[in-house]
Amino acid sequence: MRLDKWLWAARFFKTRSLATDAVSGGKIKLNGAPTKPAREIKAGDRLDIFNGDTRWEVIVLALSEKRGPASEARLLYEETAESRAAREAEQMRRKFEVEPAADIHGRPTKRDRRQMDRFSR
């Protein structure tokens, strides 16, 4: 089965083209090595998946040609214990740390500019 098709069926990516782009961009490693989207995978292969801020290290348990519900997709792979612990630690870190630019949404409004002017005087 093609790697990009499996990533889509396992619900790591919303569309197959996003999965193909991720594999082509080097964000997916098969058994520790970069690969191509059409590479055939089999049960027992290890995948390192970097999707945005999230990183998974999974072992392929089964193959599926069709994209099914999330409950069935979880049966296609097993996440390693180290990967799960690192992902949960990263989620906790993000939960308690505030992103510096989280409150900035585009250009300042007229009201925002007036407040900045008052503050800078």
The answer to whether the CB of 63 falls within 8 A of the CB of 1 is yes
Q: Hey, which residues does 79 pair with through a beta bridge? A: 58
**Which residues lie closer than 8 Å to 71 by C-beta, 6 or more apart?**
none
Tens-place pLDDT, residues 14-59? 999 999 999 999 999 999 999 999 999 999 999 999 988 789 999 9
For domain 3-95, which CATH number applies: 3.10.450.50, 3.40.50.11860, 3.40.50.1010, 3.10.290.10?
3.10.290.10
pLDDT: which is higher, 16 or 102: 16
pLDDT: which is higher, 86 or 104: 86
The answer to whether the CB of 5 falls within 8 A of the CB of 16 is yes
Report d(CA 31, CA 52) in Å as an integer. Answer: 20
Which tokens sit at 4? 């990009």
Residue tagged 């007229």 (tokens): 110
The answer to whether the CB of 3 falls within 8 A of the CB of 37 is yes
Report d(CA 79, CA 3) in Å as an integer. Answer: 17
Does the reported pTM lie above 0.85?
no
pLDDT of residue 18: 94
Q: Which amino acid does the sequence have at 77?
A: Y
Residue spans of the domains in the chain: they are: 3-95
